[in-house]
Structure 1
Amino acid sequence: MKRCTKCDLEKDISAFPKSGGKGALSNWCRACHHDRYLENKKVSEQVSSPSIDPIRELSEARVQKNVSLREISSHLGVNEITVGKWFNRKTMPRQKYVKAMYEFFCLDIPMILQAGDGGRLPLAVAECSNCKKQFPVYKAGVRFCSRACSGKDLSSRQLGYKNAMWKGGEIVTGHTGGGYIKELAPEHPNADASGYVLQHRLVMEQVIGRPLEKHERIHHKNGDRQDNRPENLELWVGTDKSKKDPHGVRIVDKVIDMLSSLQQHELLLVQKALGDKLHE
């Protein structure tokens, strides 16, 4: 059995197509691949039929402002008869003339007529699947207005156990981070850009039943920053502009932790001795 990261359902191995040339299986099942194909095909069909009519808009502006064909031809440097054919729909003007007429009538150039960096006209104007903003589409199947929106969509689909680097929702900060454990909590108001929050703060919030304030910090009694048991954590309140609790631990806390460790060690020895006795 294998879990599809798209529909989040466990399916038989045969339901997953091969991906790449080494025989590895795709993380998406065949049904999800087919749904994405139909979605892209639908977008392509919508993109292939732009609905804007620039000549109609220019004709309405010409009537409203009472502009003659001679004035337009003089401004564009084109024969008056040619301009008349444009407005009579006998021929279509070039792109540069359409833009020039929009500027002449002080109209906003439609997005469908805005050429890209390579000089190509867009196929249509689509709605971004992430931010819902209108944007020109120069290639069929494009669903996002920018790489940022595409990255956000990809991040949302690879969040948590769906990510190939998933390690159970916990990470340990490096040397500069102090060696604390972070836990995945994307809905937390203080989560970082990756959606992680310091685990000891989450544990203390569950103990006291409310979110922690910025000036409140958590002290590890035994000095082990990865020991986030509730009994090992203590809520401290900062004063003035202090950003960290004092270095080290209390002697009494260290002694209690040592005694607790000795008791656990002795208990393990007793259990082992009893087990050996039973085997005899």
Structure 2
Amino acid sequence: MPKRTYAPAGSGYINSNGYHLIAGVLQHRARIEELIGRELLPSETVHHVNGIRHDNRIAGPLALDERGRLRSGNLELWSHAHPRGQEVGPKLAHARGLLALYGTPKERERYAEFLKHVVHAEVAETVEDD
């Protein structure tokens, strides 16, 4: 069994997998939860950009970079959720969920504008019957 490495006095410890814990709480997850104002979902993980698992530095709020990565300092929020199949309907439903969780007000507004141009099946059937 690997020997436990202790962080400076009173600041928790580094576990055998290299993660920093304080009072049994993984600090990389706690830091991101503080930034987003909620607990992480089971489908969300925190990635250490530089690969050092106990380096939990942040640099202000989470920001979306030019490559679409949501990050602050050395921490990135990753989501592993995705809809089943390739049908558009479930993907649109999934997109609504993503926008609700991560989208800016402008992105949600843009999506709502897009939906105005999508004819739903019930409406399409009524139009065809006329």
TM-score, with length taken from structure 1? 0.21
Q: From the two aligned structures, give the one with the greater strand fraction.
A: 2
Q: From the two aligned structures, give the one with the greater helix fraction.
A: 1
Bigger radius of gyration: 1
Higher relative contact order (CA 8 A, sep 6+): 2
TM-score, with length taken from structure 2? 0.43
